[in-house]
């Protein structure tokens, strides 16, 4: 840690600590309507899901809902991966949302009805640094998990990763060629896509280019990243990113229908029935799911709580972590997530912290594993990571949980790769 601080002072880095932790949930509606917010983030919305099997009834069901309930239609979208159509309504301020949801749930033709939940990503401002070929010395993450030891053998080449997040600066010098495609699911989100900080940081950890003479190296520097923008900043300072059930569902569906083998979800919130169905479907499509876990809450948050997901918390440069209060049935992966130097918009870099970045490290390791053994199933990926990682020292109060610091080199060696591990 001291060496990192010395380097920062030597280079004149004035970066503040930017918390890029897993998103924390707001209530199912925003406490206060944000002026000018995209329609996917406006208050008092519900999502009604209808099966493809009753497509001929969709128009009549929609009319009945509008006639019987004090609601207004605001949108609809299909989810091909789970064969449904979603109708979105705004509930009048004069009626209770929970009562509307209860009554609609009694209709046997409706597969699912829920609030359009809103999640908030919290991050504090930091000062950007300009690009420098010296920054590689400050990027401790790949070295700590021994990803750098396998780059002569595997780099993630040919493995595509879906980053469902904010937008990202695809034109960043360290990301050019790494971002294969971008998709926007936020009304008006195109204009700010390349200025979004959170997604830019996550993509940099995963796939910043190696040996290009500038900046940093990602964990899987030749992996392909597809950015699916489902989160939006409520202000111009990039301080709080909001994601909704509506936007996340569309992004997940698009990712499932793409050629991505990994979905990185550096976000968290309360359990969501529609998103849960999509994530289970992704797992059945042999897609590895990696999610940031809440480190200071009473539970790991959603989707980290799902059995199909690899939950991740952060470690500091010494490999130490803060033990959360909650328990999980599976081993909890630990990865670098404290003062991580990564990419920021406008060809800059920043030191950031949080389980968002820890999850990105694990997604990069999974890409290395899948390059070597493309047929590896999600359950096998989890098993290898758990069995080859470094078991963290047990906390005095712990008796039933395993905290495993990911080790990329040992994971590849376990899969039979010709790597020399330190």
- The answer to whether residues 302 and 324 touch, using CB atoms and an 8 Å cutoff, is no
Give the burial class of 373: count Cβ atoms within 10 A of its Cβ; 0-12 exposed, 13-18 middle, 19 or more buried.
middle
The secondary structure of residue 302, as a DSSP letter, is B
Q: Whole-structure pTM over 0.85, yes or no?
A: yes
57-107: pLDDT as tens digits: 999 999 999 999 999 999 999 999 999 999 999 999 999 999 999 999 999
| Averaged pLDDT for residues 253-264 | 98
- The answer to whether residues 131 and 348 touch, using CB atoms and an 8 Å cutoff, is yes
- The answer to whether residues 260 and 279 touch, using CB atoms and an 8 Å cutoff, is no
> At 314, is the secondary structure helix, strand, or coil?
strand
150-206: pLDDT as tens digits: 999 999 999 999 999 999 999 999 999 999 999 999 999 999 999 999 999 999 999
The secondary structure of residue 388, as a DSSP letter, is H
Q: Which domains does the chain have, with CATH numbers?
A: 2-25+120-414 (3.40.50.200), 39-116 (3.30.70.60)
What length is written for the chain?
422
350-405: pLDDT as tens digits: 998 999 999 999 999 999 999 999 999 999 999 999 999 998 765 544 545 678 99
Residue 241 pLDDT grade (very low, low, confident, very high; cuts 50, 70, 90): confident
Residues with Cβ within 8 Å of 236's Cβ and at least 6 positions away in sequence, in order, are: none
17 or 38, greater pLDDT: 38
234 or 56, greater pLDDT: 56
DSSP codes of every residue in 267-299: --BS--HHHHHHHHHHHHTT-EEEEE--SSSSS
Query: In 13-83, which residue ranges form alpha helices assigned H by DSSP?
Result: 58-68
Radius of gyration of the chain from Cα atoms? 21
Give the integer Cα–Cα distance in Å for 175 and 296: 32
Q: What are the two backbone dihedrals, phi and then psi, of residue 113, each rounded to the nearest 5 degrees?
A: -140, 135
pLDDT of 329: 75
Structure tokens at 359: 């999850």
DSSP codes of every residue in 162-198: EEEES---TT-TTTTTTEEEEEE-STTTTTTGGG-HH
pLDDT of 401: 60
Give the integer Cα–Cα distance in Å for 50 and 144: 48
Q: Which residue has the tokens 């809440």?
A: 294
- The answer to whether residues 259 and 230 touch, using CB atoms and an 8 Å cutoff, is no
Nearest by Cα to 200 from 343, 337, 336, 352: 343
pLDDT of 125: 39
pLDDT of 33: 55
pLDDT of 2: 42
Q: What are the two backbone dihedrals, phi and then psi, of residue 168, each rounded to the nearest 5 degrees?
A: -155, 155
Structure tokens at 63: 């009319």
pLDDT of 164: 97
Give the integer Cα–Cα distance in Å for 251 and 159: 19
Structure tokens at 398: 């712990």
pLDDT of 285: 98
pLDDT at 304 over 50: yes
| Averaged pLDDT for residues 26-51 | 75
pLDDT at 135 over 90: no
- The answer to whether residues 291 and 359 touch, using CB atoms and an 8 Å cutoff, is yes
The secondary structure of residue 322, as a DSSP letter, is P
pLDDT of 312: 95
Other C-beta atoms within 10 Å of 39: how many? 15
213-238: pLDDT as tens digits: 677 999 999 999 999 999 998 776 66
Other C-beta atoms within 10 Å of 134: how many? 12
Containing H/E element for 82?
none
Residue 328 pLDDT grade (very low, low, confident, very high; cuts 50, 70, 90): confident
323 or 393, greater pLDDT: 323
- The answer to whether residues 292 and 309 touch, using CB atoms and an 8 Å cutoff, is no
DSSP codes of every residue in 185-253: -STTTTTTGGG-HHHHHHHHHHHPPSSSSSS---SSTT-EEEEEE-EEESSTT--EEEEEHHHHHHHHH
- The answer to whether residues 74 and 43 touch, using CB atoms and an 8 Å cutoff, is no
335 or 395, greater pLDDT: 335
In the chain, what are the helix, strand and coil shares in percent, each to the nearest 5?
Answer: 30, 25, 45
| Averaged pLDDT for residues 290-312 | 92
Q: Give the bridge partners for 232, in sequence order.
A: 242
């Amino acid at each position: 840690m001291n060496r990192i601080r010395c380097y920062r002072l030597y280079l004149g880095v004035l970066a503040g600590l930017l918390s890029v932790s897993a998103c924390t949930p707001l209530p199912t509606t925003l406490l206060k309507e944000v002026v000018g917010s995209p329609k996917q983030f406006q208050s008092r919305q519900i999502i009604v899901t209808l099966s493809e099997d009753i497509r001929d009834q969709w128009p009549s069901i929609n009319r009945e809902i509008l006639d019987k309930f004090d609601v207004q239609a605001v949108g609809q979208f299909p989810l091909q991966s789970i064969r449904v159509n979603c109708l979105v309504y705004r509930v009048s301020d004069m009626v209770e949302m929970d009562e509307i949801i209860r009554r609609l749930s009694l209709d046997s033709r409706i597969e699912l009805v829920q609030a359009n939940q809103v999640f908030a990503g919290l991050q504090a401002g930091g000062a950007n640094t300009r690009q420098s070929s010296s920054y590689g010395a400050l990027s401790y993450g790949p070295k700590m998990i021994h990803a750098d030891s396998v780059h002569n053998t595997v780099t993630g080449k040919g493995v595509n990763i879906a980053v469902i997040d904010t937008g990202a600066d695809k034109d960043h010098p360290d990301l050019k060629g790494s971002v294969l495609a971008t998709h926007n699911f936020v009304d008006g989100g195109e204009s700010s896509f390349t200025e979004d900080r959170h997604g830019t940081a996550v993509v940099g950890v995963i796939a910043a280019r190696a040996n290009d003479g500038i900046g940093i190296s990602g964990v899987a520097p030749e992996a392909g990243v597809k950015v699916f923008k489902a989160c939006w900043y409520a202000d111009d300072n990039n301080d709080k990113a909001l994601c909704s059930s509506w936007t996340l569902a569309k992004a997940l569906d698009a990712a499932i229908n793409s050629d991505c083998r990994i979905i990185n979800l550096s976000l968290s919130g309360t359990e969501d029935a529609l998103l849960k169905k999509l994530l289970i479907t992704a797992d059945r499509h042999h897609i590895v799911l990696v999610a940031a876990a809440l480190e200071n809450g009473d539970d790991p948050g959603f989707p980290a709580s799902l059995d199909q997901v690899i939950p991740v918390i952060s470690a500091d440069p010494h490999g130490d972590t803060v033990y959360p209060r909650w328990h999980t049935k599976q081993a909890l992966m630990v990865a670098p997530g404290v003062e991580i130097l990564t990419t920021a918009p406008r060809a800059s870099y920043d030191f950031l912290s949080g389980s968002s970045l820890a999850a990105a490290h694990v997604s990069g390791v999974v890409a290395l594993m899948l390059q070597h053994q493309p047929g590896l199933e999600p359950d096998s990926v989890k098993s290898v990571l758990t069995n080859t990682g470094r078991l963290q020292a047990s906390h005095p109060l712990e008796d039933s949980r395993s905290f495993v610091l990911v080790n990329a080199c040992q994971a590849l060696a376990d899969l039979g790769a010709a790597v020399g591990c330190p």
